[in-house]
Homo-oligomer: A and B are copies of this chain.
Amino acid sequence: MKRTAIITVWVFLSLTTGSWGTEPPVSEDTRACLECHATVYPGSLEDWRRGRMAGITPAEAMKKPQAERRVSFDTLPDSLKNVVVGCAECHTLNPKKHTDSFEHNGYQVHVVVTPEDCATCHPVERKEYDQNLMAHAYGNLRNNAVYQDLANSVNDLQSFSTGSVSYSRTDDATEADSCYFCHGTQVKRQGTVEKETDFGEMSFPILSGWPNQGVGRINPDGSKGACTACHPRHQFSVAVARKPYTCAECHKGPDVPAYSVYAVSKHGNIFSSFSQSSSWDFEAIPWTVGKNFTSPTCAACHVSLLVSRDGSEVAKRTHRMNDRLDQRLFGLIYAHPHPVSPDTTIIRNRAGLSLPTELTGEPASEYLINRDEQERRKKAMQQVCLACHSNGWVLGHFDRLENTLQTTNAMTLTATQILLSAWGAGIARGPAQKDSIFNEAIEKMWVEQWLFYANSTRLASAMAGADYGVFANGRWYLSKNIQEMLDWTRFHQRK
């Protein structure tokens, strides 16, 4: 076997001669991995081979001019500097921190590569991301009583008996398949299992919450997040992360329909029409407006380092996604200034809930960014717009968005008042009865008012995709839903 395997890896590597004349500087450790894994899930290695990391050493990557650099480390162990980033370079890092680490053919290998591992070469990006709401997506959901109530109302089982329905708590597998698929699971080692393999009996860790690539995954080394949520294994491509399909994985449905809105915007049209052309370049760093692309994607507006053709900076790179956003449009009952801390469980509104506004819309201001910071962030976004659009165009657009936030908040408040009146009249059971505020039909209609229709209308306004914001999932339903909630209360008030 050994002989064949060596030949296999040889053939394999001979196909990988990237910028090197003969053979890439693959570490001895990674060669050992490749020996067997050229035949054990080989597709994974093929994908790695196509990626930039398989073709350049960190030392070479660091030699590029600052603006073109894809790495941000100050120092690096010698063992990593002059070899390409292969299997062993990532999967054997920080073994002591990794509770998923296991002995594997003489190496301490771990399954789950984490932001802490990636930070070896990308410390700046990791730090930014750690301040990103997404990095806290697990805890922000799990440790907030209101959100837990909502999540349970979605995932819990309902059973029918003698004319009524009761809820019973769901299981971990359902949660991992539902909310936490995107928010991230908690990946924990549960023990070890012995398995018969093609290479004899071997030990592997048993992991709960696995597989998962959610943005706020709690990792076996204690870190938060998954870089692979947007830079999929094992190419870890910046091109994929810059395409809107990546964001669509979690932002297409009616609760956060960013992709759906983008798809019907002028920007989305131009992207779909031209992005495959050879005159667009999704790999270039920095990303030059007009030269590398002629219409922004999600990443262009929210994440990427953008420059003009003359090299002047349009926007700084950031992995804290709300750096260019002054208000939060979705996910909560009312639009509101972004929270100061990415850990939103610390927020307390006047009612004592971890919500950025009261149930009637007033912001919990001390936990939210102030006017100055809002202005700074809005300006950062407008700089991106101004790379192509005139000042009058941009201001006109933002004025409309501001108006939309107010009107959608007002339409949400009306729905809230109907719900409050239903609770008051005793035709639905709410906080006064210590009942869930999400488990009855009228409550679910209320949720749709803000989670679906107000959010969709706002995103359609923000990203100029009106087709989605009127009849697809926006104002039409904002209006209709109020009439239907009203009818519900009338039907229920009849004896």
Our pick among B11, B204, B396 for the contact of A211 (Cβ within 8 Å) is B396
Is B249 within 8 A of A269, CB to CB? yes
Q: What number of copies of this chain does the assembly contain? A: 3
- Asked whether any CB of chain B lies closer than 8 Å to the CB of A2, the reply is no
- Asked whether any CB of chain B lies closer than 8 Å to the CB of A252, the reply is yes
Is A390 within 8 A of B173, CB to CB? no
Our pick among B153, B157, B308, B310 for the contact of A411 (Cβ within 8 Å) is B157
Is A407 within 8 A of B232, CB to CB? no
Q: Point out which of A170, A174, A182 has the most chain B C-beta atoms below 10 A from its C-beta.
A: A174
Our pick among B43, B155, B452 for the contact of A387 (Cβ within 8 Å) is B43
Interface residues contributed by chain A, number (CB under 8 Å): 135
Whole-angstrom CA separation of A240 from B267 in the bound complex: 12
Whole-angstrom CA separation of A44 from B460 in the bound complex: 23
Is A441 within 8 A of B308, CB to CB? no
| Distance in Å: Cβ of A191 to nearest Cβ of chain B | 12
- Asked whether any CB of chain B lies closer than 8 Å to the CB of A148, the reply is no
Our pick among B181, B274, B466 for the contact of A181 (Cβ within 8 Å) is B466
Is B254 within 8 A of A472, CB to CB? yes
Q: Given A173-B403, A404-B177, are A479 and B235 also a contact pair (CB < 8 Å)?
A: no
Q: Given A396-B211, A484-B441, are A39 and B310 also a contact pair (CB < 8 Å)?
A: yes
Q: Given A245-B272, A407-B170, are A43 and B290 also a contact pair (CB < 8 Å)?
A: yes
Whole-angstrom CA separation of A479 from B41 in the bound complex: 39
List residues of chain B with CB within 8 A of the CB of A467. 182, 248-253
Beta-carbon contacts of A386-429 to B below 8 Å, as 1s and 0s?
Answer: 11111111001101100110010011001001100100000000
- A residues near B (Cβ < 8 Å) are 8, 11-12, 38-39, 41-47, 49-50, 111, 153-160, 163-165, 170-171, 173-174, 176-179, 181-182, 195, 204-207, 210-211, 213, 232, 235, 237, 239-240, 243, 245-246, 248-255, 263-266, 268-270, 272-274, 276, 279, 289-291, 294, 308-310, 312, 386-393, 396-397, 399-400, 403-404, 407, 410-411, 414, 417-418, 421, 439-441, 444, 451-452, 460-461, 464-472, 474-476, 479-480, 482-484, 486-492, 494-495
